[in-house]
Amino acid sequence: MKKYLLLLALSLLFVPATLWGQNVNVKSLSSRLDTLIKYKLPAGSNVGISIYDLTEGKSLYTYQSDKLSRPASTMKLLTTITALARPEADEPFRTEVWYQGVIEQDTLKGDLYVVGGYDPEFDDEALDSLVNRVSRFPFSVIAGNVYGDVSMKDSIYWGSGWAWDDTPASYQPYLSPLMLNKGLVTITASPGVKGDTANIECIPVSSYYTVTNETKSRTPSAGRFGVSRDWLQNGNNVIIKGNVENKRTGTVNIYSSQDFFMHTFLERLQAKGVQCPAEYAFNELQKDSVSVRMALFETPIQDVVNEIMKESDNLNAQALLCRLGAQATGKKRISDEDGLVAIRKQIKALGEDADYYKLADGCGLSNYNYISPDLLVSFLRFAYSRTEVFQKLYKALPIGGVDGTLKYRMKPGSLSYKNVHAKTGSFTAINCLAGYLRAANGHEVAFAIMNQNVLSGAKARAFQDAVCDEAIK
């Protein structure tokens, strides 16, 4: 017995120092995080955590990591990583203008089509670019019809489970393959003479909507500044109210995106001196021998991914989901479900049971989504293993204390400052954080923290930041 104990002691004595230190560090991390959960987790809430060392290829810590949770905008990681892993990932988003017919004696004897490719970054300048290119063609009269082609996607303009009373909010657009300025109007109010209405500027400029200015310059009794519209009736009268002490801005979405686009396109084409039909319609372009592409506008995939991650843009994520469905199926007419099927296939490819999870949209705005911290980390691990995926994703993720949705978190002086690159996710009672961090030992780490049932977002964010700090030590 004594001989056995002596051999055991000697074997422990000669365990490599680096391995011994690593074991101590892992235990220490587990102990610290257990303590953090016990004393710092917001009362009445729960959390799931998964932390994985990418450098060593092993789990560092889990706590309820297989439990289903609502991901909010961390759902965007699943959509983006799946899309970036496809062979066609680098294809840009395209918006095109075609005509069918012939040009004779200053007249287009045929029809003009604007074909939507679900470009979520298509803005005022992009529209002017298309109009300018069309106006250079040798005609000033369109004798046929002007059509918008929105056949890429079904006509359901909201995601599954989106809240109806979020309708006028800028983060909940009316989805369509033809989007102008994300389907939003941006209003800038500048104060004038005290008591007078403020000066109002709207972008994009269009007669598709009207404006009611009920503001007062430098008049506190006028109340809080706000922008809305008569959204219960799907009306597009933009109502601006309240006190304007200094320059103020607000946004409101417009019903509906495809009509907003086509009305404004036709209006600007007419302003270029092109005589157009009084009305537009929607019809699918059936290309034939007399079909000619007149104009093309492209947006790089990296621009779309940057907005998805840095600014948590819901429209961009839904557009990417739709394009993912188109690429995965080869179909022309796509629904959200086609994109979700592609994500489920990716879940299976990672060795997970796709039937265990509920996927409802591509952006996380739906309350019907249910995934787990382990699943998020599985996707992050996969992205890390694919250089072409990881490079695009990592450069787009918000950096702790620097930019995006992490700009005002993880302040200078904290361990997480500049060491965390992660996607946030939050709506009422839900707050999540998932991404990558660099530990003090130089290791790259993937993590997911999913706080549920916590009404104080500030407390949930403070808890998550503390978890990151501990994982970095």
Is a pLDDT exceeding 80 seen at residue 350? yes
pLDDT tens-digit profile of 370-380? 999 999 999 99
Evaluate if residue 415 carries a pLDDT over 50: yes
d(CA 133, CA 437): 46
* Phi, psi at 187, each rounded to 5°: -110, 130
CA distance 58 to 377: 12
* pLDDT value at 184 more than 60: yes
pLDDT, position 391:
97
User: Rounded to 5 degrees, what angle do the CA atoms 94, 399, 58 make?
Assistant: 100
Among 177, 115, 103, CA closest to 144: 103
Residue 280 near residue 148 (C-beta atoms within 8 A): yes
- Which pLDDT tens digit goes with each residue over 210-232? 999 999 999 999 999 999 999 99
- C-beta separation of 65 from 449 below 8 A: no
Predicted confidence at residue 17, as pLDDT, reads: 40
The dotted CATH code for 93-156+260-300 is 3.50.80.20
**pLDDT of 289:** 87
Q: In the predicted model, is pLDDT for residue 40 greater than 70? A: yes
User: pLDDT class for 417, splitting at 50, 70, 90?
Assistant: very high
Across all residues in the chain, what is the average pLDDT? 94
Instruction: Please state the domain extents for the chain.
Output: 27-89+303-472, 93-156+260-300, 177-253
The pLDDT assigned to 70 comes to 98
Percent above pLDDT 90 for the chain:
92
The reply to whether omega before 204 is within 30° of 0 (cis) is yes
Residue 20: pLDDT over 80 = no
Query: How many residues are given for the chain?
Result: 473
Q: What is the mean pLDDT of residues 398-402?
A: 98
- Work out the average pLDDT over 136-151: 97
Residue 113 exposure: Cα atoms within 13 Å on the Cβ side: 21
pLDDT over threshold 90, residue 3 = no
Cβ proximity of 318 and 175 under 8 Å: yes
By C-alpha distance, which of 462, 435, 457, 430 is closest to 54? 435
Q: Do 277 and 113 contact (CB within 8 A), yes or no? A: no
pLDDT at 290: 87
pLDDT in tens, 263-294: 999 999 999 999 999 999 999 999 998 899 99
CATH 3.40.710.10 fits 27-89+303-472, yes or no: yes
Of 43-52, 80-89, 136-145, 164-173, minimum mean pLDDT range: 164-173
Residue 145: what residue type? Answer: N
Q: Percentage of residues in the chain with pLDDT exceeding 70?
A: 94
Residue 26 has pLDDT above 80, yes or no: no
Quick one: which H or E segment has residue 93? Answer: strand 93-104
How many C-beta atoms surround the C-beta of residue 45 within 10 A?
17
pLDDT band at residue 19, thresholds of 50, 70 and 90?
Answer: very low
DSSP per-residue letters across 194-205: TTSPPEEEEES-
Q: What value does the mean pLDDT take over residues 158-162?
A: 94
Q: Which two tokens stand for residue 463?
A: 């808890």
Q: Is the pLDDT of residue 77 over 80?
A: yes
Q: Compute the distance between CA of residue 305 and CA of residue 393 in angstroms, rounded to an integer.
A: 7
Residue 7 pLDDT greater than 80, yes or no: no
Closest CA to 426 of 307, 305, 312: 312
Sheet holding 199-203, edge to edge: 199-203, 184-190, 248-253
**Over 70: is that where the pLDDT of 8 sits?**
no
The stretch 446-454 carries a mean pLDDT of 98
